């Protein structure tokens, strides 16, 4: 949640930068809807894919793609940087529901408590954007996207380590 919200929160400011899109706030806001629209499309595609592919590897592959796209944005400028970040929405789409499924798998009678802990972890959606903002203030917005990239690396690890425990 943290990486997804952080990216969505900073898109307008990112797209307004002269070396990225050079847009006005109003123009940049139109592109933000593509990020969230990509998440919606990805949710539909992801539900079809998850019928054929185990959850852990699907999460791992989505995290690889998201991390590569964020890294591409960090290392480039202009429309490549802009569109690579917009495309991250497509890969974010299956992450939270799938992470939740993996997290409660095999908990048995502790499923309720485990799901409560996972719901409480959504606070990352509030903490990561603040941390990214602090990084942006200190090192610049471009470099601040290293934080969501690091989040995706952890999700990659989580997805593939969960697939070794049990196929869900």
Assign residue 106 the CATH number of its domain.
1.20.1250.20
Q: Kindly give the interhelix angle for 2-16 and 124-139, rounded to the nearest 10 degrees.
A: 40
User: What token pair was written down for 3?
Assistant: 């990486």
- The mean pLDDT value of the chain amounts to 89
Report the number of distinct structural domains present in the chain.
Answer: 1
Q: Which domain holds residue 90?
A: 2-165
CA distance 23 to 13: 9
Q: How far apart are CA 7 and CA 34, in angstroms?
A: 13
Which pLDDT value is given to residue 34? Answer: 94
Q: Where are the beta strands (DSSP E) in the chain?
A: none
Taking only the tens place, the pLDDT of each residue in 82-114 is: 999 999 999 998 887 788 888 778 888 888 888
Q: For residues 94 and 115, what is the distance between their CA atoms, to the nearest angstrom? A: 17
Q: Is the pLDDT of residue 39 over 50?
A: yes
Q: Give yes or no for a contact between 4 and 92, defined as CB atoms under 8 angstroms apart.
A: yes
pTM of model > 0.95: no
Q: pLDDT tens digit string along 125-155?
A: 889 999 999 999 999 999 999 999 999 999 9
- By C-alpha distance, which of 61, 78, 89 is closest to 23? 78
Which helix H or strand E contains 75, and what residues bound it? helix 55-75
Mean pLDDT of 36-54: 91
Q: Name the H helices within 93-145.
A: 95-104, 111-120, 124-139, 141-144
């Amino acid at each position: 949640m943290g990486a997804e919200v952080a990216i969505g929160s900073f898109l307008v400011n990112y797209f307004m930068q002269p070396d990225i899109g050079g847009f006005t706030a109003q123009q940049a806001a139109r592109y933000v809807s593509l990020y969230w629209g990509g998440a919606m499309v990805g949710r539909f595609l992801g539900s079809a894919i998850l019928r054929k592919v185990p959850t852990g590897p699907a999460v791992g592959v989505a995290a690889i793609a998201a991390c590569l796209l964020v890294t591409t944005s960090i290392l480039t400028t202009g429309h490549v940087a802009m569109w690579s970040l917009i495309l991250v929405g497509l890969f974010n789409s299956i992450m939270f529901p799938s992470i939740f499924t993996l997290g409660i798998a095999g908990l048995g009678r502790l499923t309720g408590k485990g799901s409560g802990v996972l719901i409480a972890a959504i606070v990352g959606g509030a903490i990561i954007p603040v941390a990214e903002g602090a990084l942006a203030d200190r090192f610049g917005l471009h470099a601040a996207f290293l934080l969501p990239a690091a989040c995706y690396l952890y999700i990659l690890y989580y997805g593939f380590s969960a697939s070794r425990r049990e196929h869900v």
